[in-house]
Amino acid sequence: MIHIKTEEEIELLKESSLLVGKTLAEVAKRIRPGIKSIVLDTLAEEFIRDHGAEPGFKGYNGFPFTLCISVNEQVVHGFPGHQHLLEGDIVSIDCGVLKNGFYGDSAYTFAVGEVDEEVRLLMDRTKESLYKAIEVAVEGKRIGDIGHAVQSHVEQYGYSVVRDLVGHGLGRQLHEKPEVPNYGKRGTGIKLQEGMVLAIEPMINLGARQVVQLSDGWTIRTADKMPSAHYEHDVAIRKGKAEILSTFDYIEEVINAK
């Protein structure tokens, strides 16, 4: 069943979602060539706990870290570790928190130093596809409209949509119904209703859409080892215009100041 949230619950979801954005901004301050991704994980966990929340991913189905850190051809669910980020890498960082019984869940793909133009465009257009999806995430539209918005935006550039992983409802559980695929047909799927809260999260590949899982049991990478980008917002369905509960503002302040 789909949980329709009250205004009070949406406020709490917003508080959790904003904390994720602030956490990712703290992480953004430290992203540079040479840093080990485990350092980012440690600082994110401290920041979350200092703000009266718990990491939302750590321990979730046994996931061992606060952040999912996925580099280059890794799509999602990558492990932080002792390898250094390198000039020209892209790094998708997904963060969840649990505060007041509600989850926040947001992701952003960062450039490490200067990245190739083709990869920069993949990042920009993946983020654009997220906002295209949010434009149609309003009462009366359907889940398929969201997927269609993402798919039609990115496929015009020859990119492909990862289909094995999807967005989701968000609330007292990290993953609630409905599933929110990043591909689909207009006017299909369940109808969106005011008070639904969805995590919309396009995962877009420069090459083919196929992905494989690494032997760590978590990390998903592209089968062709070409780069992939991932952006995620939490949105409340409203009449006319979705309310974005998460934010990239803090992150982009940091990026723009670099």
Separation in Å, CA 65 to CA 105, 130, 157: 14, 25, 34
45 vs 105, beta carbon nearer Mg ion: 105
Task: List the end-to-end C-alpha distance of the chain, in Å, as a whole number.
Answer: 45
φ, ψ of residue 31 to 5 degrees: the values are -75, 120
- Closest by CA to 148, choosing from 195, 180, 194, is 180
107 vs 206, beta carbon nearer Mg ion: 107
Collapse the DSSP code of 34 into the 3-class scheme (helix H, G, I; strand E, B; otherwise coil) and give the result: coil
Residues of span 98-127 touching Mg ion by CB under 5 A: 105, 107
45 vs 94, beta carbon nearer Mg ion: 94
Least distance from Mg ion to the Cβ atom of residue 90, Å: 17
Contact range with Mg ion by CB under 5 A, out of 13-21, 91-99, 202-210, 218-226: 91-99
Q: Which of 9, 15, 89, 94 binds Mg ion (CB under 5 A)?
A: 94
Collapse the DSSP code of 121 into the 3-class scheme (helix H, G, I; strand E, B; otherwise coil) and give the result: helix
Give start and end residues of each alpha helix (H) in 58-142. 117-135
User: Do the beta carbons of residue 22 and residue 253 sit within 8 Å?
Assistant: no
CB atoms within 10 A of CB 173: 12
Least distance from Mg ion to the Cβ atom of residue 25, Å: 16
Burial class (CB in 10 A: 0-12, 13-18, 19+), 86: middle
9 vs 232, beta carbon nearer Mg ion: 232
Residues of span 175-214 touching Mg ion by CB under 5 A: 199
Site string for Mg ion, 215-244 (x = CB under 5 A): -----------------x------------
Residues of span 130-169 touching Mg ion by CB under 5 A: none
Give the number of residues in contact with Mg ion, rule: CB under 5 A: 5
26 vs 224, beta carbon nearer Mg ion: 26
E strand residue ranges, 53-156: 54-55, 67-71, 74-76, 90-99, 102-111
Least distance from Mg ion to the Cβ atom of residue 114, Å: 26
Least distance from Mg ion to the Cβ atom of residue 69, Å: 12
Least distance from Mg ion to the Cβ atom of residue 55, Å: 12
Q: How far apart are CA 203 and CA 194, in angstroms?
A: 25
107 vs 192, beta carbon nearer Mg ion: 107
User: Do the beta carbons of residue 137 and residue 235 sit within 8 Å?
Assistant: yes
103 vs 159, beta carbon nearer Mg ion: 103
Binding of Mg ion by 73 (CB under 5 A): no
Positions that interact with Mg ion (CB under 5 A): 94, 105, 107, 199, 232
